[in-house]
Structure formats: C-alpha cells, structure tokens
Chains A and B, each alone.
Chain A
Amino acid sequence: MTTKITKTEIGAAALAGALATALTLVSATASAQTMGGDKAGKEKCYGVSLKGENDCAAGAGTSCAGSSKVDYDGSIWKYVPKGTCETIKTPQGTGSLKPVKS
C-alpha cells in the first residue's frame, strides 16, 4: 500500500467539529449581546447619508471659487505630502514612512 501524500486534507469529522464549535461561539456572542433586536428594527433611510457615502456633494460642482484659469505646471510636485502620515509612528523609525524595508 502506498502512502498518499495529501496536502492539507480536512476530513468530514473535522468539518463537522469546526461547524459545531463555530455555532457555539456564535450563540455565545449572541446571548452576550442584548437580544440583537436593535438592528432588525432599522430601515434604510434615503436622503440622510453620511458624507463620503452619498451620491456626490450637490454643492461641490456648483462652486465658482477660484474660477480663474488654473495652471498647474510641474512645480506643484515640489509639495511634500503632509498631513497625519508623520504622526503615525512605525517600529522602523519615528515619523519615517518608509516601512517594511529590512
């Protein structure tokens, strides 16, 4: 009899066991929450969507701000990105954002 070299075979018993564990885990979390009836009572409400999740800002395209001819030549790319990136510190160095370079 030859020994079959299988990759990572998962038997029916293991699958059933995993499912049983999973169901136990889920029911434990569900009963820990307060009945969970809250979410089911919600409904979709149109016209109140959050910024960034709505169908574009109605006002944005209608702005006349800075209506002069915009002429961005290469000089704009002298900007260094600035914002919060330097506030996030990585183990590779404080304030530096060139991570995962071992």
Chain B
Amino acid sequence: MPHALQAEFATVLRDPALPLPTSVISHTSRTPQKRFAVYRNNVMVGLIGALESRFPATRRIVGDEFFAAAARVFASTQPPRSPLMMTYGDEFPDFLASFEPAAEIAYLADVAGLEAARTRAYHAADAAPLEPAAFSQIDADRLADLCIVLHPSVEIIRSQFPIVVIWAMNAGDMELGPVADWRGDDALVARPALDVEVRRLPPGAAAFLQSLSADAPLGTAAESAAASDPAFDLAVNLAALFSAGLAISATHRP
C-alpha cells in the first residue's frame, strides 16, 4: 500500500465519524461502509482484548464496562506501534494516570504499571541467577567495589499506595478484604526462572537495586540505600538478592 493511502486507512480505522477512504471499494457490494465498519470494529475489539488480557487486575478493579470504555479511548488515541501485541499497552498506565474518569481510584495507574511490568518480565531475556556460593568466594576486602548485574527481568515500581496487596487481591492471589497496612509499596517484579514473581521490597531496597542497576558498585549502592532509608538492612537485602535470584553476575571493576 502506498504511504498516503496507508495513513488515510489507519486514520479512518480509528475514527468511526470519518468517511471511508476513497480507495476502499467492494466488488460485490455498493456499500463497502458496512464491511469496513465490521473490520474497524474487529480491530478495536482486538486491541481492547489485548489490553484486557494484559491488565486483568486493573480491569477487575474498575469493572468490565469501565475498562472496555477506557481501553477504547486509549486504543483510538494510541494505536499499537508494533505488531507484537504482548507489548501493547506499555503506555496504558500513564494514560490511566491522567484519565479523568478514573481519577477517583488513585492507585489504579500504579497497579496497571505493576501489571505492565509483569508482562515485560515474562518476555525478558532468560538468564541464570548466580548461586549464593559464588558470593562466598569473593575477596571480602574488595566487596565495596563489587559490581552486581541484575537479572534482565527486574523492574521496580514505587508507589505511595499498597499496590502489591491490591494487585494480589485483584489478581486472585489473595482474598479481597480490608487493607490493614495502608502504606506505599516498593514492588519488585522479576522472573529469575519460569514464573514472574511479585514481591514487596523492604525499606531502602528500591534505592539499593536501582543503584545497582545503574552500575554502582556494592559499597556505593549500600550507602545510597542507607541514605534513602535509615531502616535499610544490607544483610537482609543481600539475602533477598540471592534467594530471589536477582543477581546474574558479580565482578570487580577492572
């Protein structure tokens, strides 16, 4: 398809109010409008369906009807840029954050952000986590200079809402109920092996992991974590790093 035609076709596809592209003809019907409408609807239904399967907890929070309507607005303004439907909706959390009808549910965008991260973690590259034994070989005097590479699937979502519990309740992992501890969560999403895991991070861990993923050596990362939260406990964080399989390599800087 020539480029201009393609652009026109794509525009009309997203807006039912626009007239049919002149190039769209039918050999067997004098009214291709109806057929085009079917096609247009299928495209929209497909995109909404992709968002529904990527954001099940978000959908459950607002209800099917609201979700479908919100997804329709998103899909008509932000069509996919890639044919890989599993990546569609990376911008959906941001969209929800500024989506006025959802403003009442302050935590919605962050829960959607967690769900988006889960899909990305699922499709992230595989990498074998480092065995804890590897760390016992390291020269203790040079620990501060140790550079730890995190697993490619690792993502951190910081929220001022208890999104891990809210997500778990709406993803069917936990029963719905009162949230006793209404505090912000730093959520960790990772897929060290086959399953995507979601955890709540201990104090300072978000700063610690973000620092490590920005290539800071262990000493610097620990210091910035302690500065960000006095309750930061390095031993607990290292133990979590090993047991959750978050580190894939640890080397000294040359």
Contact = CB atoms under 8 A, between A and B. Distances in A.
Contacts of B136: 23
B1 interface: no
Q: Considering residues A10, A51, A55, which has the most beta carbons from chain B within 10 angstroms of its beta carbon?
A: A10
Contact of B234 (A9, A18, A97, A100): A18
A68 B63 contact: no
A73 B227 CA distance: 51
Interface residues of A, number: 61
B158 interface: no
Nearest to B132: A26
Contacts of A17: 235
B7 interface: no
B17 to A, nearest CB: 8
A85 B61 contact: yes
Contact-residue size bin, chain B (C-beta under 8 Å from the other chain): 35 or more
Interface string B47-61: 001100110100111
B198 interface: no
Chain A at the B interface: SS class = loop
A90 B223 contact: no
A14 interface: yes
A55 B86 contact: yes
Given A16-B143, A53-B122, A80-B104, 5 more contacts: A7-B223, A25-B236, A56-B53, A56-B86, A87-B177
B182 A90 contact: yes
Contact of A64 (B42, B180, B242): B42
A56 B50 contact: yes
